[in-house]
Structure 1
Amino acid sequence: MFDDFYGLEGRPFQLTPDPAFYFESKTHRKALSYLGYGLAQGEGFVVITGEVGSGKSTLVAHLMATIDPARLTAAQVVTSKLDGEEIVHVVAQAFGLVIEGHDKASALGMIENFFHEEARAGRRCLLIVDESQNLEISALEELRMLSNFQLGSYPLLQTLLLGQPEFRTTLLEHPELDQLRQRVIAAHHLDAMDAKEVQPYIEHRMKCVGWNGNPTFDQRVFAEIHEATGGIPRRINQIVNRLLLLGAVEQRTRIDGTMLHQVLEELTADGTLSLVSPTPSPAAGKEPEEPAPAAQAEEGRAEAPRQTVVVPPADSAAIARLEASLAERDAQIHELQNAVIELANSVEEGAAAASAADRSAEDAAEIARLTAEVERLEARLSEQDRTLRHTLTMLIEWIESGEGQREAA
């Protein structure tokens, strides 16, 4: 209704996550850097937590829209309360596998075979698990066991865990999840938006549907919306959606504080306000703890590869060297993957032709050559990785020290 009245091309504040409306707030930009770093590693677990409606699903949808499906096969699971055996079958279904009966061993075998086939085709596998706080501990441990699948030294599965704040607490404190914590290579908690980000957020979503300035918003409305919602995107969407509906009903071209107060009163009367109003949290305003020391170290390094930061011109040479190192490292990873795939295919072909004695020596020599090549590439990759991590650490320390900002100023 209001989209027609204001000449909009769609609904700007729908509650369903849509990557087309992705808004890069400060916390989402940081989370995207952690996700980019984690996916570049190609192994382990990446953990993103946040309040209900904080934008976790939209963030992941935005990320997936930028990934080449020819190089990455992704499957998503939105969980209910699942145990260890159930999660295995749900994962199989998410990757499009049909499991006859309810046999866990058969499901695991088919999943591993699928991962091997994807690796030989040059594709990595990514599992996205939403609402991870609903999983039982046995299910989380089963996901960890799936991360053990390898082709030679090449990991076959990487997992992205999305969850509400209580999942973060479970991951940090549960004594049975120590091994899983050690495999978390990047983690981030999505905070609420700052008060100064509410206006750009609302205007961004309006512009996505052809907003041309009608209606206009009083400046005080943005501050009051932040106070009423705590800066949570979905809560903002609910209130602004009602504001626009009221504006269309009353044929208003300007949204003011009086209209906002009327909407808040209506939401209070019908019980909706309790669903959208922020709830105080003891951890509010505090920097979240890290899952484990190893994960903390990795997270500290995670920002540098992808996060957009303002650096002074004097540091452009360092950035150029860093980008060159990243490009070289990606090329080496791709070369290593091809070598591993070639080795696996040669082993299978050699096994099928084992009865031919005149070829066994030749096959053994070829396998030895490929094995040596893989070891050489792994050694080069390891050295390159150490150099890159050192460069990233120095760059992050330089930026966080404040010297970069002072020089830029």
Structure 2
Amino acid sequence: MYDDHYGLSERPFQLTPDPKFWFDTATHRKAMAYLGYGLSQGEGFIVITGDPGAGKTTLIGHLTAQIDPERLNVIKIVTTRIEPDDLLHLVAAGLDVKTDGMGKAQLLTEIERGLHRVARTGKRSLLIVDEAQGLPVGSLEELRMLSNFQAGGHPLLQILLVGQPEFRDVMQGGDRLEQLRQRVIAMHHLDPMGPDEVEDYLVHRLSVVGWQGRPDFTQEAVDALYRHSGGVPRRLNQLAGRVMLFGAIENIDCFGEDDVNAVVADLEADMTGHTEKPAVEASAPAAPPQQVADAASREQVEALTRQIATIENRLEEQDKALRRVLTLLVDWIESDASRPDLSAIRGSAA
């Protein structure tokens, strides 16, 4: 692996979100500011959206790592699509509520009791729903109903919804979600990082795993990484990881633009299944594919026919020689004469 080649403790550009690689881009700092404000209110909904690979899951990991577990009880649900009843069961499980055989009314009652138990310990409850763009409207309505639970005029549950950009369209559609929209107290969309942030991002992730300056990236290479990734963290990680692997194979200590472009070409070939074919000289135009295939088949058949003919000729010669030997042996036995001279026949049989 390239981490061993470059003396790193682990891979710096792995695709699995890891809070220790958290990097404060401008958009992520703004998102954390909105989250801080929303959590300080202790009520309603906070909404974070972003394109795939923008760092939403990393943001959640960074947020939960910053939360004091003595003050906030976090319930996390990761789902792309879940119906209202199943959603309630997941929330109940996060509160250690047993829900076997319960109807909806009893289930809601037990969830409220669970939230009260948490509140009596001096904690507030935060429900984080990742991939929220897949939630049906009915499930979003159930979440709004859960946000109504209160104790002494204070909400028992605050909800953070994290999803792809289409989740904003879901929330804007129809009158059924009007009450939910009115309870959104903070909203932010994660943008890709800017071109001036890419170099610092690379250096940060490399430094986390013990980087000592090897390998290095020219400014042209950094610009190429941004150009081909669009500043989206996951795409940048994928491309940078492949560049590092390419460098380990080719023994490169300083990457240039050509190295990045070569890796991009390889990635595109991997995705499409097409590779570069050698150019054909203009003086020898290529034959149509079917003609090429037919010519190749004829050559194979002719070669096989020649091999069979050669084998048949050898077998025929060996058969004749064997018959001559047997005839001489029979004659010798019947005549009780001296042993015949077979030297000439041995040569032909061989």
**So what's the TM-score if we normalise by structure 1?**
0.65
1:272/1:112 CA distance change after superposition, 3 Å: farther
- CA distances 1:321-340 after superposition (whole Å, capped 9, x unpaired): xxxxxxxxxxxxxxxxxxxx
CA contact (8 A) 2:25 2:193 kept: yes
Structure 1 unaligned residues grouped into runs of 5+: 274-409
CA distance in 1, matches of 2:163, 2:81: 13
Q: CA deviation at 1:84?
A: 1.6
Within-5 A mapping of 1:153-192 = 153-192=153-192
> How far did 1:83 drift?
1.9
Partner of 1:76: 76
In the TM superposition, residue 102 of structure 1 has moved relative to its aligned partner by 5.3
Give the drift of 1:104: 2.1
**Percentage identity across paired residues of the two chains:** 52
Match of 1:143 in 2: 143
1-side partners of 2:264 and 2:203: how far apart? 20
What is the distance in 2 between the residues matched to 1:259 and 1:98? Answer: 57
Give the Cα–Cα distance (whole angstroms) in 2 for the partners of residues 239 and 206 of structure 1. Answer: 14
Q: Which residue of 2 aligns with 1:115?
A: 115
What amino acid is aligned across from residue 183 of structure 2 in structure 1? R
- 1:336-389 deviation line (CA, Å, top 9, x unaligned): xxxxxxxxxxxxxxxxxxxxxxxxxxxxxxxxxxxxxxxxxxxxxxxxxxxxxx
- C-alpha distance 272-228 of structure 1, shift in aligned 2 (>3 A): farther
Q: Encode CA deviations 1:199-248: one digit per residue, 9 max, x unaligned.
A: 11111100110111000001111111111111100000000000001111
Partner SS, residue 73 of structure 2? strand
Cα distance in 2 for partners of 1:223, 1:106 equals 58
SS of match in other structure, 2:52 = coil
Q: CA deviation at 1:45?
A: 0.3
Q: Which one-letter code corresponds to 1:158 in the other structure? A: Q
Paired residues of 2:22 and 2:58 also in contact (CA < 8 A): yes
| Contiguous gaps of at least 5 residues in structure 2 | 274-350
Aligned-CA RMSD value: 1.3
- Equivalent residues of 2:224, 2:261 under 8 A apart: no
Q: Deviations over 1:238-282 (max 9, x none)?
A: 000000011111111111112111110111011189xxxxxxxxx
For 1:92 and 1:185, locate their aligned partners in 2 and report how far apart those are by CA, in whole Å: 25
Deviations 1:44-89 (A, max 9, x none): 0000000001011111211111111011100110113212222111
Query: Counterpart amino acid of 1:34?
Result: Y
State the 1:174 CA deviation.
3.2
Give the structure 1 partner of residue 253 of structure 2: 253
What TM-score, normalized to structure 2? 0.76
Q: Do the aligned partners of 2:95 and 2:115 also contact (CA within 8 Å) in 1?
A: no
Report if the CA contact (8 A) 1:198-1:231 is conserved.
yes
- Matching of residue 205 in structure 1 with residue 205 in structure 2: yes
Q: Secondary structure at the match of 2:271?
A: coil
Judged with a 3 Å threshold, the aligned counterparts in structure 2 of structure 1 residues 262 and 43 are, in CA distance, closer, same or farther, namely: same
Specify whether residues 230 and 102 from structure 1 end up closer, same or farther in structure 2 by C-alpha distance, changes over 3 A only.
Answer: farther
C-alpha distance 96-246 of structure 1, shift in aligned 2 (>3 A) = farther
In the alignment, residue 108 of structure 2 is paired with which amino acid? L
| Cα distance in structure 2, aligned partners of 1:159 and 1:67 | 15
Larger radius of gyration: 2
For residue 49 of structure 1, give the secondary structure of its aligned residue in structure 2. Answer: strand
Asked if 1 retains the 8 angstrom alpha-carbon contact of 2:115 and 2:156, the reply is: yes
Task: Give the 3-state SS of the residue equivalent to 1:271 in structure 2.
Answer: helix
- Contact 1:13-1:241 at 8 Å conserved across structures: yes
Number of aligned pairs? 273
Q: Which runs of structure 2 are paired with 1:263-282 in the superposition (5 Å)?
A: 263-271=263-271
**Aligned pairs (5 A) from 1:205-354:** 205-271=205-271
Q: The residue matched to 1:159 in structure 2 has which SS? A: strand
Deviation track 1:182-209 (CA, whole Å, cap 9, x = no partner) reads 0000000001111111111111100110
Q: Is the 8 A contact 2:45 2:186 kept in 1?
A: yes
